[in-house]
Structure 1
Amino acid sequence: MNKQILILLIAFISVTGLAQTSRATHFNLEKKVAIQGYDPVAYFTQKKAVKGKATFASTNEGVTYYFSSQANKEAFVKNPSSYEPQYGGWCAFAMGDYGEKVEINPETFKVLDGKLYLFYNAYFNNTLKSWNKDEVNLKKKADANWKKISGQ
């Protein structure tokens, strides 16, 4: 009986570990850190992009985030899905317009319906402006494209 429980436990840990690894492979990570080290909670509480610190790090299902304060880290740990960026931290416009993973500028963002969306903004191309012109349609397409890409 104990041997069966041990085998089930090992199988569960293996599957859980694989799920975390595969989830992280779809996220926009730089040196294994999401949002280029910016604090995901600050977008909601301070309404601006704030650089996090490695001393306030937390990992959720294989994805590591940095926070600007212990309070922000604790808020995230209590409810990570409330703060994680949509589409694995890739550009929301690109995900909606052509279903591709495109880098972002962490300082170009939008909080919509309690969710964080990040955008590419470089070389005179601020994709947040394009997103705002057709947000409803692009969001539907981005949601569908992300499901295909991530399996989530």
Structure 2
Amino acid sequence: MNRRFLLGAMAATVFAPAAFAQDMPVFFQTDGAVMAGYDAVSYFTEDTPRLGLPEFSVKWKGAEWHFASAENRDAFEMNPRAYAPQFGGYCAYAMAMGELVSTDPKLWTVIDGRLYLTHSPGIEQVWNTDTAEYIRMAEAHWPTALYEQ
């Protein structure tokens, strides 16, 4: 095998997950709305997430994102990665275990300016016991967990 080819293949294997993480798909239900239609910006600007409206929606990463207002939609469009949930909207705790699990958009936390969603109240309790460690573990699995399922 050609040395240049081998080095290129090794580099692609090592760097591919990080490079593709920016373009990974997001989790959404069969209706196509991310986070069951909740407004991603509202998690950062209000005390509780608000349900978005289809008339204030955008397509990003192959899914539809709903917003409660045109202002929130516009803020998202200017910098979607600032508002989108981590790990493609999959359960952050499950990602720490290397698994893809759906989320409940009413079970959330913002840590260091990033939105994390969890699957259920019980999982949320476990997640909250050591979020820093679970984030570290989840980041080690993301996005390769998408390919291992």
Higher strand residue share: 1
What does residue range 1-152 of structure 1 map to in structure 2 within 5 Å?
23-24=24-25, 27-30=26-29, 31-96=31-96, 98-121=97-120, 125-150=121-146
For the residues of structure 2 that align with 1:75 and 1:143, how far apart are their CA atoms? 26
Stretches of structure 2 that go unaligned for 5 or more consecutive residues are: 1-19
Output the aligned Cα RMSD.
1.7
Stretches of structure 1 that go unaligned for 5 or more consecutive residues are: 1-18
Contact 1:119 1:126 in 2 (8 A): no
Amino acid at match of 1:39: D
Give SS of 1:72's match: helix
Taking only the aligned residue pairs, the percentage that are identical comes to 34
Give SS of 2:24's match: helix
For the residues of structure 1 that align with 2:60 and 2:106, how far apart are their CA atoms? 22
Higher helix residue share: 1
TM-score (norm 2): 0.77
Kindly tell me the number of residue pairs found equivalent between the two proteins. 125
